Chains A and B, each alone.
Chain A
């Protein structure tokens, strides 16, 4: 027998008594019975309020326990700002590196082209037999020099082109960073929805569990990554110390 059925049975009994007393004209007894009914109503009302208060308290408590919202405000969103600023820095650097390489390379190509044009003109003179021996010796010397410097300049060019290639490495890293920020934004969105729901529904606490090897994306200055080592040398040292 639940508390409720006991209460309902009492209310019914009191109601029946009320009717009996009223029919009998016993005003005092009737009034007493009516009082009891009113009090019973109040009790059940207080119980309802108590239950709601308890549920609200629990929801607030579990909301506090799920400190995701606090984390978002204090840590994740400032982190996101750092990450995006870093994206700007990286793309800026990549653009600078690329343009420097190009600016260095263009004069090289122009030099080679100019000298080649010049030599070609002289070579044509030679072919048309418009050149004397002395001039030819000078031409031979020029060609020799040209071949040497072209070799050097080509190597330089190749190196610069490689710089341009490597400068594109930002895209992969910035892409990863941006993807993470998108995930964060989705997280914020979910939490806002939860906040809205809080008024009508108990919030279920998040089940966070620390995964030490979870992917974290590139290291960003200003954003702390627990346990991150600093650069290839540190990686090599760690592996060496483990016997690899």
Chain B
């Protein structure tokens, strides 16, 4: 499965990349902003998007909305991994069609659990 990791901090991208590798996902790419991520998503054939919220160019919530608005990308599973945890933000993300929401700092176990949940749901046709 081809996964795109988006976060403006390279440390976090590296952590997520390593965790995904431990879970058996070796085919990962990186972007440092929603702005650079969107063309990559449109051009590539990614099956999963993991993104931060707080980014200078295009925020994660806006990237999510852009993905859901694009014909080719609208069914792409998206997970937010972010320090943002206000009620309104979580609700907004859910309403915008996010598939998973992880708050930082997070554990490897949480990441695995949420990913499993997303893809179990997809396989189950939910």
Evaluate contact between B86 and A227: CB separation under 8 angstroms: yes
B103 at interface by CB-CB < 8 Å: yes
List 18 A–B pairs whose Cβ atoms lie within 8 Å, in order of A's numbering: A165-B15, A169-B11, A169-B15, A169-B104, A171-B11, A173-B83, A173-B104, A173-B105, A176-B54, A212-B89, A215-B84, A226-B86, A227-B88, A231-B85, A232-B102, A232-B110, A238-B87, A239-B101
Evaluate contact between B104 and A168: CB separation under 8 angstroms: no
Evaluate contact between B86 and A238: CB separation under 8 angstroms: no
Evaluate contact between B83 and A162: CB separation under 8 angstroms: no
Question: Which stretch of A13-21, A127-135, A184-192, A217-225 is in the interface?
Answer: A217-225
Q: Mark B93-112, 1 if CB is under 8 A from A, else 0.
A: 01000000111111110100
Q: Mark A23-60, 1 if CB is under 8 A from B, else 0.
A: 00000000000000000000000000000000000000
- In the assembled complex, the Cα of A159 lies from the Cα of B87 at a distance in Å of 34
Contact of A176 among B61, B83, B85, B107 (CB under 8 A): B83
Q: How far is the CB of B83 from chain A (nearest CB, A)?
A: 4
Evaluate contact between B83 and A231: CB separation under 8 angstroms: no
Evaluate contact between B9 and A175: CB separation under 8 angstroms: yes
Q: How far is the CB of B7 from chain A (nearest CB, A)?
A: 7
User: Given that A217-B54, A218-B104, A232-B102 are contacting pairs, would A239 and B9 also be in contact in the complex, using a CB cutoff of 8 Å?
Assistant: no
- In the assembled complex, the Cα of A227 lies from the Cα of B54 at a distance in Å of 17
Chain A interface bracket (under 10, 10 to 19, 20 to 34, 35 or more):
20 to 34
Contact of A242 among B18, B94, B107, B110 (CB under 8 A): B94
Evaluate contact between A229 and B59: CB separation under 8 angstroms: no
User: Given that A171-B11, A232-B110 are contacting pairs, would A218 and B86 also be in contact in the complex, using a CB cutoff of 8 Å?
Assistant: no
A213 at interface by CB-CB < 8 Å: yes
Q: How far is the CB of A160 from chain B (nearest CB, A)?
A: 13
Chain A stretch 146-175: residues in CB contact (< 8 A) with chain B: 162, 165-166, 168-173, 175
Given contacts A166-B15, A232-B106, A235-B90, 19 further A-B contacts (CB under 8 A): A169-B12, A169-B106, A171-B11, A172-B7, A173-B105, A213-B61, A213-B86, A213-B88, A215-B54, A215-B84, A216-B86, A227-B87, A227-B88, A229-B87, A235-B85, A235-B102, A239-B94, A239-B101, A242-B94
User: Given that A165-B18, A213-B61, A244-B94 are contacting pairs, would A172 and B12 also be in contact in the complex, using a CB cutoff of 8 Å?
Assistant: yes
Evaluate contact between A215 and B59: CB separation under 8 angstroms: yes
B48 at interface by CB-CB < 8 Å: no
A204 at interface by CB-CB < 8 Å: no
Q: How far is the CB of B66 from chain A (nearest CB, A)?
A: 15
Evaluate contact between A231 and B103: CB separation under 8 angstroms: yes
- In the assembled complex, the Cα of A100 lies from the Cα of B100 at a distance in Å of 32
User: Given that A172-B104, A176-B54, A215-B59 are contacting pairs, would A229 and B85 also be in contact in the complex, using a CB cutoff of 8 Å?
Assistant: yes
- CB-CB under 8 A from A219, the residues of chain B are 83, 85
- Please give me the 9 A-B residue pairs with the lowest Cβ-Cβ distance, nearest first: A218-B83, A172-B9, A172-B12, A227-B86, A212-B88, A171-B11, A215-B54, A227-B87, A213-B92
A228 at interface by CB-CB < 8 Å: yes
Which of chain A's residues has its CB closest to B9's CB? A172
Which of chain A's residues has its CB closest to B117's CB? A236
Which of chain A's residues has its CB closest to B7's CB? A172
Which of chain A's residues has its CB closest to B95's CB? A242
